[in-house]
Every structure is written in structure tokens, then in C-alpha cells.
């Protein structure tokens, strides 16, 4: 059991509050389809992808020296969305998906994916004390590579219908990064 000095040290280290994983906002800042801020409240969960740098292993005299290598590509960014009664938000993601490659044809609309069919989004952690914005993670060059299915069934009573959207990510800017 911790001593009162250790508890006091922990309180000092935490500052005024801790990050609450249920206090966040997601906004889409640009992209081929406008997702209004009034609808982003339906984003039930959002993650902050891990950051990973691969290692370079160099064998030397029976040991292995490990040094930092290249930054791996960013893992997909996943959100879970509560399905609204009209399916409006899902329709926006499906429209974005369809602009990249049509559901009916095997040829897209001719636009450059890198410039006009990708977008940006932010996850902002919200401080409980005062409701101000905390750390912000920005995702660049994103596009929905998967618009997940919606499970329908008689045993799904008393719960909200939801689905997952997985975005391919080309860059992430997070606090204290350049």
C-alpha cells in the first residue's frame, strides 16, 4: 500500500486532472464529403493509433545491437458510429467510398485520390475541468477503406445500432510533433 507521500507525489504528477477516454470530440476538417459537426456526436468511439518505429538489428560479437529504423506506416484509424434513423452519416461515408471507386463501375471518377478524395480529421481530448480542448491528434490523407456492416437481429434488443469505419492514414500530427 502506498504511503501518503507517494499519494501526494502522484497527485502532483497528475496536475489538475487526468485524461478521460470518454471526453473527446471528432471533427472532419476536409474531404470530398462534408461530415457536419452536428453529426459527429454519433461517433461512439475513436482511437489514437499507435506510433511505431521499426528497429534495425545488427549482430555483433554474439550480441545484437538495436537501433531506431524507419517510421512504419500508420495503422488504420477506426471509429465506431451510432447509426442514425435515416442512415445519413453512413450514407456520407458510403458516398466518400463510392467517389474513390464506384459501386457499379470498376473505374473511379478520374479525380486524384491523393488530393481530392482524401481528407483530414481531428480527435480532441476534452478537459473535464472547464471543458477546454486538450491534446489534439490530426489525421491527414485519410480515406475510408472499410465502411463496416450493421448487425441486425432479433437478439439485438435494447441497444443502439452501430458500425465501424476504418480509415487508411497517411500522416498523423500529434502534440509536440513537427
Q: Does residue 144 form part of some domain?
A: yes
Q: Does residue 4 form part of some domain?
A: no
Q: Match 470498376 to its residue by C-alpha cell.
A: 106
- Tally of domains within the chain: 1
Q: Does residue 40 form part of some domain?
A: yes
The answer to whether the beta carbons of residues 94 and 35 sit under 8 Å apart is: no
Q: Does residue 7 form part of some domain?
A: no
Measured distance CA(81)–CA(35) in Å, rounded: 12
- Write out the residue range of the structural domain in which residue 40 sits: 13-173
Using the Cα atoms of residue 115, residue 38, residue 133 and residue 127 in order, give the sign of their dihedral.
negative
What is the per-residue pLDDT for 178? 46
Q: How many residues does the chain have?
A: 178
Measured distance CA(93)–CA(146) in Å, rounded: 9
Q: Does residue 178 form part of some domain?
A: no
What is the per-residue pLDDT for 64? 92
Measured distance CA(38)–CA(96) in Å, rounded: 18
Measured distance CA(95)–CA(73) in Å, rounded: 26
Which residue ranges in the chain fall short of pLDDT 50? 178
What is the per-residue pLDDT for 130? 67
What is the per-residue pLDDT for 53? 84
Please report, for the domain that includes residue 90, its CATH number.
2.30.110
pTM to 2 decimals?
Answer: 0.78
Q: Count H helices and E strands in the chain, helices first.
A: 3, 9
What is the per-residue pLDDT for 131? 67
Q: Does residue 140 form part of some domain?
A: yes
Using the Cα atoms of residue 105, residue 109, residue 115 and residue 116 in order, give the sign of their dihedral.
negative
What is the per-residue pLDDT for 112? 53
Amino acid at each position: 500500500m502506498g504511503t501518503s507521500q507517494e499519494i501526494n507525489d502522484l497527485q502532483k504528477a497528475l496536475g489538475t486532472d487526468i485524461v478521460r477516454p470518454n471526453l473527446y470530440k471528432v471533427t472532419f476538417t476536409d474531404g470530398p464529403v462534408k461530415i457536419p459537426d452536428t453529426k459527429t456526436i454519433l461517433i461512439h468511439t475513436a482511437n489514437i493509433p499507435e506510433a511505431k518505429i521499426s528497429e534495425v538489428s545488427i549482430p555483433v560479437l554474439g550480441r545484437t545491437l538495436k537501433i531506431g529504423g524507419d517510421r512504419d506506416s500508420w495503422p488504420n484509424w477506426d471509429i465506431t458510429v451510432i447509426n442514425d434513423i435515416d442512415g445519413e452519416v453512413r450514407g456520407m461515408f458510403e458516398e466518400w467510398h463510392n467517389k474513390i471507386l464506384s459501386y457499379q463501375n470498376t473505374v473511379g471518377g478520374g479525380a486524384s485520390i491523393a488530393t481530392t478524395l482524401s481528407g483530414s480529421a481531428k480527435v480532441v481530448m476534452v478537459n473535464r475541468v472547464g471543458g477546454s480542448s486538450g491534446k489534439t491528434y490530426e489525421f491527414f490523407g485519410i480515406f475510408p477503406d472499410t465502411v463496416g456492416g450493421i448487425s441486425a437481429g432479433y437478439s439485438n434488443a435494447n441497444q443502439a445500432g452501430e458500425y465501424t469505419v476504418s480509415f487508411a492514414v497517411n500522416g498523423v500530427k500529434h502534440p509536440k510533433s513537427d
